Structure 1
Amino acid sequence: MRTAIQLWTLRDVDRPLPELLAAVADAGYDGVEFAGIEDPPETARLLSETGLVAAGAHVDADELRADPAAVDDELATLSVPYAVVPHLDDDHFADAAAVEETAAALDDLALELDRPLLYHNHDHEFVPVGTETAFDRLIEATTVGIELDVGWARAAGRDPVALLSSLDGRVPVVHLKDVTADGEPTSLGDGVVDLPAVVDAAREAGADWLVFEHDDPDDPVAELRAGSETMARLLADD
């Protein structure tokens, strides 16, 4: 598996993109996952200079619906392998009918793209819907892939390892995130997520990318380095 960082982690770092990408490369990551792209040709040039590759890109569902062809062109410029819907609000998972509509909408969006579409979970998808959760019902109803965020899944009270096993072949990208017992984001290895077991399960499920993300880092640059070091150890031990 290859390693990347979700650039949302570094959103508060006051450095130009060339310096940020150079720091990511120096930290030892293989790639980056984008959370918005301002200048695709220039960004593609910077990726080439640093030796990084794109692991994926988070794209708002409204932007995808408005002009999927334009989004696809931007992603193609960067050789982005996966478009990822990063969030849908609670209304999309309120009941069984809402989940079915959400699944159909995701499937329709996927048909408009020239690359696989993934959905990235938080914790609100794990609300009860009948005898299962909205997340489980979504998995059954949609054909799109999943970018499983193991930290949010654990915060919702689910076992990320079991989820990865159930998503065998449908989870090419895994967000490696740690949380406290209260579900708050923390540094990798400082929380309650069983990271070695998650890495094993991700590999077994066919994941290609482990993407480090910290939603609320006190020191993003320190987390950038620590995340890469931790993932390197986990993969070496795997």
Structure 2
Amino acid sequence: MRPAIQLYTLRELDDSLPDLLRRVGETAFEGVEFAGLGDSDPDDIRDALDDAGLDAAGAHVGIEELEADPEGVVETYRELDCDRLVVPYLDDAEFASETAVTDTARRLQTLAGRVDEAGASLGYHNHDHEFTDVGDDGNAFDLLADETDFDLELDVGWATAAGRDPAELLRGLRGRAPLVHVKDVADTTPVELGEGDLDIDACVAAARDAGTEWLIYEHDEPTDPEASLAHGAERLAELVE
């Protein structure tokens, strides 16, 4: 496994995307997951990745953008050697009932087929609301997993916040979790790694057994993004040794 960072963590820093990549390249992170490209030219981003010695682990792309032009999105990220695209969020209503989850699963599965035809793979990234109960059939996340075959980028922090054991979830996602978000939470509040409720060691062991390729650090609300970058890089480097 290799360590990466979701660049959403650094969104409050007053840097261009190429400058953010150079900053990440000075740490032990080996890759990044994009949270949009902003106004940056893909050629400049490609050069910055190369200069920083970083690989593109994946990219978060909104579902509307993907559905509107999957071929164009895939081609843009192909220029960055990025072939894993992840829908980062769908709102609570998409997981509010068994019917809603089934419809959501069908929508995402259709999109996964279009993305695959364009030459990339699709994943879905959870928060905590996907673990809501949907009647006798259990919870929405489990139903989504059962109804689909695309990748699921498990966010172990949000799974923990929802009261689930993320290591157990990863064991059930063998072969479907090439990307895993490593986030710590105290109750439902994101905190720095090691300061919350997450059993990090158990998650890393389960991710390794599940065939995960990238552990991706994310902090949704860092009070000091620079310090969070340094701490996350150091901690993940230790975990993947």
TM-score tier after normalising by the smaller chain length: over 0.9
Match of 1:52 in 2: 54
Map Cα deviations across residues 195-221 of structure 1 (whole Å, 9 max, x no partner). Answer: 011100000000000000000000001
**Alpha-carbon distance in structure 2 between the residues aligned to 1:102 and 1:33:** 24
Gaps of 5+ in 2: none
Amino acid at match of 2:233: S
Q: Indicate the larger mover: 16-25 or 51-60.
A: 16-25
**Alpha-carbon distance in structure 1 between the residues aligned to 2:55 and 2:8:** 16
Task: Name the SS of the counterpart of 1:5 in structure 2.
Answer: strand
Confirm or deny that 1:234 pairs with 2:236: no
- Give the TM-score taking structure 2 as reference length: 0.95
1:143 CA drift (Å): 1.4
Match of 2:122 among 108, 117, 120: 117
Match of 1:162 among 159, 162, 168: 168
**Alpha-carbon distance in structure 1 between the residues aligned to 2:24 and 2:145:** 33
1:146-161 aligned at under 5 Å gives the runs 146-161=152-167
Gaps of 5+ in 1: none
Map Cα deviations across residues 72-123 of structure 1 (whole Å, 9 max, x no partner). Answer: 1111111113100000011111111111111111111111111110000000
- Give the TM-score taking structure 1 as reference length: 0.97
Confirm or deny that 1:216 pairs with 2:221: yes
**Alpha-carbon distance in structure 1 between the residues aligned to 2:111 and 2:141:** 18
2:153, 2:180 within 8 Å by CA — same for their partners in 1? yes
Q: Indicate the larger mover: 171-180 or 109-118.
A: 109-118
**Alpha-carbon distance in structure 2 between the residues aligned to 1:100 and 1:80:** 29
**Alpha-carbon distance in structure 1 between the residues aligned to 2:142 and 2:200:** 22
**Alpha-carbon distance in structure 2 between the residues aligned to 1:78 and 1:152:** 28
Confirm or deny that 1:204 pairs with 2:209: yes
How many residue pairs match? The answer is 235
Aligned-residue CA RMSD (Å): 0.9
**Alpha-carbon distance in structure 2 between the residues aligned to 1:192 and 1:74:** 38
Amino acid at match of 1:79: D
Amino acid at match of 1:97: T
Regions of 4+ moved over 6 Å: none
Match of 2:148 in 1: 142
Confirm or deny that 1:176 pairs with 2:178: no
2:3, 2:240 within 8 Å by CA — same for their partners in 1? no
